[in-house]
A and B are shown apart, each in its own frame.
Chain A
Amino acid sequence: MSTATHPLSEAAASAEEPMVVFNHVSIGFDGKPVLKDISFELRHGETRILLGPAGVGKSVLLKLTNGLLMPDSGCISVFGKDLCHMKERDLFSLRGEIGTVFQEGALFDSMNVRDNVAFRLMEEHLPDEEIDRRVEEALRFVELEHTMKKLPSELSGGMRRRVAIARAIVTEPKLLLYDSPTGGLDPITSTTIIELVIKQRDASKTSSLVVTHRLQDAFMMATHRYDAQCKCIQPMPKGQTDPNTSFLVLHDGQLVFDGTTEELVRSDDPFLRDYLR
Chain B
Amino acid sequence: MPIASLDTTAKRWVLSVQEYALLTARALLNVFRRPFYWSDIVFQADYIGIGSLPIVILTGFFTGGVLALNSASTLAQFGATAVTGQLVSLSMIKELGPVLTSLMVSGRNASGMTSELGSMIVTEQVDAMRALGTDPMKKLVMPRIVATVCMMFFLTIVSDAIGTLGGAFVSGILLGQNTSQYFHTAYQTLRYPDVLEGLIKPVIFGFIIATIGCFFGMKTRGGTQGVGRSTTQAVVVASVLIIATDFFISQVVISIFGR
Tell me the A residues contacting B by CB distance below 8 Å. Answer: 63, 66, 68, 88-89, 92-96, 98, 100, 102-104, 106-109, 119-120, 123, 167
Closest Cβ of chain A to B22, distance in Å, is: 12
Q: Is B74 an interface residue (CB 8 A)?
A: no
Closest Cβ of chain A to B71, distance in Å, is: 46
Further contacts, 14 of them, CB under 8 A, given A106-B128, A123-B132: A94-B133, A95-B132, A95-B133, A100-B128, A100-B131, A102-B128, A102-B131, A106-B125, A108-B120, A109-B119, A119-B129, A120-B134, A123-B35, A123-B133
Q: Which residues of B contact A89 (CB under 8 A)?
A: 135
Give CA–CA (A92, B131) in the complex, Å. Answer: 8
Residue among B119, B120, B128, B131 with the most chain A CB within 10 A? B131
Task: Tell me if A96 and B123 are in contact (CB < 8 A).
Answer: no
* A96 interface neighbour in B120, B124, B127, B133, Cβ under 8 Å: B133
Q: Which residues of B contact A88 (CB under 8 A)?
A: 135
| Pairs of residues from A and B, 5 with the lowest C-beta to C-beta distance, nearest first | A96-B133, A106-B128, A106-B124, A100-B131, A95-B133
Give CA–CA (A88, B136) in the complex, Å. Answer: 12
Q: Which residues of A contact B130 (CB under 8 A)?
A: 68, 92, 95
Q: Which residues of A contact B35 (CB under 8 A)?
A: 123
Closest Cβ of chain B to A248, distance in Å, is: 20
With A104-B123, A106-B123 already in contact, the answer to whether A92 and B133 are too (CB < 8 A) is yes
25 example contacts (A-B, Cβ-Cβ < 8 A) are as follows A68-B127, A92-B134, A93-B133, A94-B133, A95-B130, A95-B131, A96-B133, A100-B131, A100-B132, A102-B127, A102-B128, A102-B131, A106-B124, A106-B125, A106-B128, A107-B125, A108-B120, A108-B129, A109-B119, A119-B129, A119-B132, A119-B134, A120-B133, A123-B132, A167-B132
Q: Which residues of A contact B129 (CB under 8 A)?
A: 108, 119
The digit string for B130-173, where 1 denotes a CB below 8 A from any CB of A, is 11111100000000000000000000000000000000000000
Give CA–CA (A106, B35) in the complex, Å. Answer: 24
The digit string for B56-71, where 1 denotes a CB below 8 A from any CB of A, is 0000000000000000
By beta carbon, the residue of chain B nearest A63 is: B127
Q: Which residues of A contact B123 (CB under 8 A)?
A: 104, 106, 109
Closest Cβ of chain B to A256, distance in Å, is: 27
Task: Tell me if B127 and A120 are in contact (CB < 8 A).
Answer: no
Task: Tell me if B135 and A92 are in contact (CB < 8 A).
Answer: yes
Which residues 84-122 of B sit at the A interface, judged by CB distance below 8 A? Answer: 119-120
Task: Tell me if B135 and A106 are in contact (CB < 8 A).
Answer: no
Give CA–CA (A98, B131) in the complex, Å. Answer: 8
By beta carbon, the residue of chain B nearest A103 is: B124
Give CA–CA (A155, B135) in the complex, Å. Answer: 27
Q: Which residues of B contact A108 (CB under 8 A)?
A: 120, 125, 128-129
Closest Cβ of chain B to A70, distance in Å, is: 13
Task: Tell me if A120 and B132 are in contact (CB < 8 A).
Answer: yes
Task: Tell me if A123 and B127 are in contact (CB < 8 A).
Answer: no
Task: Tell me if B124 and A66 are in contact (CB < 8 A).
Answer: no
Q: Which residues of A contact B124 (CB under 8 A)?
A: 102-104, 106
Closest Cβ of chain A to B59, distance in Å, is: 29
